[in-house]
Structure 1
Amino acid sequence: MSPLIEITDPKIYDPAVVLIDVRGGADAHERYLQGHLPNAIFASLDDDLADHPEDAAYGGRHPLPNLHDFAATLQRWGLTPDKHVIIYDDKNAAMGGARLWWMLRSIGHDNVQVINGGLKAATDEGVELSTDDYKPQPAATLYPVADSYKNTVDIEEVKKAAKDDNRVVIDVREGARYLGHTEPLDLVAGHIPGAVNLFYSNSLSPEGKYLTAQALKTLYQNTIGNIKPGDVIVHCGSGVTACHTLLGMEHAGIVGPRLYVGSWSEWSRRDLPIATEKN
């Protein structure tokens, strides 16, 4: 199954599908109420898809939620292992849509797709939006989860990988942040020494949709080269937009790269080496 689905696909409106609208920021729910796809469940990036860290030096600004808490959230959404899940957000999948896709894949729920182009694709297509606060019927039981999320790496593994020519650490933040020219969110500007930069939005067309699978494969292979997918680590500022790149990689047939969840928000708070030159 492709990780992407087009807004014109009638499966999006199948009553058996669990349709989820992800938003981030303090006004997330307010924006959802201003217009969303009919029967789309509201999901908060900050409350449903992340924990609230006491110290971002340990886990970053958007650490993954406790698995039991995430299972309870999935139960509240009416999600069971057999359900087809379709996700979108209002930022071309970059601010939550891809994060939820990755989280579900990480716990073994493979029947999940993201709407290519997100909410903008819907409005461009003339889809009539709803303004109700849709509440689904909760599932009868807690969603079954394992003991840990799969395909993640911690800061110690990133330290090793960044020095290993047979592995690659990809930083998907914009170039100005990577080079240390500006840092709007974290305490220090720059990047992990040895990491290479590939801005996540390079994978999008001017209309805000992912490039074709072949174009994405070419884009990513130019950075990865002959390195095996399992030796690729992707990070961003806090483990959110990195998932956008991981989704694009899977669409391109590059399956197996791993997520450094803590990302720059963790690394930059640990008194570790920081680079400002292009690798």
Structure 2
Amino acid sequence: MSGLIIILIVIVLLVLGVVGWTVGQYNSLVGMRNRVQESWRQIDVELNRRYELIPNLVETVRGYAAHEHNTLEDITRLRNQAASLASHEGATPSAQRAQAEEQLSGAVRNLLVSVEAYPDLKSNTNFLELQRALTETEDRIAAGRRYYNANVRNYNTKIESFPTNMIAGQFNFQKAAYFEVADHARAATDVNFGEISYRGGQPQGQQTPQALPQQQSGTPAMPADWGQGQQAPQGQPQQYGQAPQGQPGQYGQAPQGQPGQYGQAPQGQPGQNGQWPQNPQN
């Protein structure tokens, strides 16, 4: 009888342990889901503020840059599309909403860049105020997105991990969507260095010859780009031809009175890689 009681006690403890662990994991998932929803509400406030600023920005730009008609229409269309999706969203955004908001962000950035060509618009007080407000809003959206995505990552990892995935499936915990940055926003400016011309009118793709330092006083330095087999001017070293008189040669024959590197050695001096001089001293 006592053995049966012990077994029953062990079973009860195991059941209580499993129930307690399940309750703890469930409460953890609820807390993480609430943090995701709260962080998204902070972003949603800034997005709605942007909805209010964009119509005034469009009207201000239209008065100074009427031929930016297509750009202004695109911004208005994307703004209305994002606002429509926001009115039907729940506690967290859908992937479609996130994509629409990022397209709207890109359109606003492109418009603010394009107005650099209009000095009158850049000096307009109303435009400057709208530009400042939009820039601050975009900065807060970017900061809120980083915080939101961090919470989404932790929440989704918890849902997908074993054994909490069984609890998530049992109580219908759904994965949250990231508020991703679009590819066009990540792309860096493409700088084509091939369009930069060399100084002094040097053609593209050619190197400017470098002048050698002067070897003798009063003698100008000569460029070190002589072709193989050509003779160098007197008094100057040569790279690939014969060496001048009185100077060591690099690849040709050595001058008289100086040791040669690769050719025949001068008379009365030992050669490095060529023949020994006549009458070498023992």
With structure 2 as the length reference, what TM-score do the two structures score?
0.18
**Greater share of residues in strand:** 1
Bigger relative contact order, structure 1 or 2, given CA contacts below 8 A and separation 6+? 1
With structure 1 as the length reference, what TM-score do the two structures score?
0.18
Higher CA-based Rg: 2
